[in-house]
Amino acid sequence: MTSNPKLTQIDIFTDGACIGNPGPGGYGVIVVQDGQEIERSQGYRLTTNNRMELMAAIEGLKVLKEPVRGRLFTDSKYLADAINLGWVDIWRGKGWRKVGKGKVLNPDLWQQLQQLLDTHQIEVVWVKGHAGHPENERCDRLAVQAAQQKNLLIDQGYETSQTDTAPQPGLF
């Protein structure tokens, strides 16, 4: 997408957390526009940290009602590098397969994220986690609190991709 200076400027701060990996997880998001903030968080009963990092970015972008220009802050090198180094474009071009022909992990989330990024002009900015960045620390607290809630949602993309027949946490 070409640069459009008339687009609304926003900042999206994200973080994901997992208690065990896999285990119960959650994400936290703060979207800031014109000094106003929207917070979102949600927990899942069985997922991975990488999935929660991706879900945080997706949910932050889903808040947007029209195309915007902005920055998405993440402490996930996996997420930042995949976007900034063009890995996602390569994976998409190869049918969500890696260069070595293996399957990309979390293709359901990468596809959602890429579709949302195609709508906006978003710069993905990596920040060091647990280093005192105020919004990143807030997102971390939101994500951890979400993962600790009762009645967590099912991460269908993760649970249906697993062939393990071991009992799932939270069923009884």
Cis upstream peptide for 134 (omega within 30°) = no
- Sign of the dihedral defined by the CA atoms of residues 162, 22, 13, 88, in that order: negative
| CB under 8 A, 24+ apart: contacts of 157-165 | 157/51, 157/106, 157/108, 157/109, 158/22, 158/44, 158/46, 158/47, 158/48, 158/51, 159/46
pLDDT at position 89: 93
pTM: 0.89
Domain ranges for the chain, please list them. Answer: 9-159
CATH of domain 9-159: 3.30.420.10
The yes-or-no verdict on residue 1 having pLDDT over 60 is: no
Q: Which residues are catalytic?
A: 15-16, 53, 75, 130, 140
pLDDT of residue 4: 57
pLDDT value at position 161? Answer: 83
Ranking 42-51, 73-82, 93-102 by mean pLDDT, the lowest is 93-102
Q: Is the pLDDT of residue 126 over 90?
A: yes
**Residue 165 above 70 pLDDT?**
no
Q: Does residue 26 sit in helix, strand or coil?
A: strand
Highest mean pLDDT among 2-16, 86-100, 134-148, 154-168: 134-148
Within 8 A by CB and 6+ apart from 80, the residues are 74, 124, 125, 126
Q: What is the rounded average pLDDT of the residues 53-64?
A: 97
Contact 31, 38 (CB under 8 A): yes
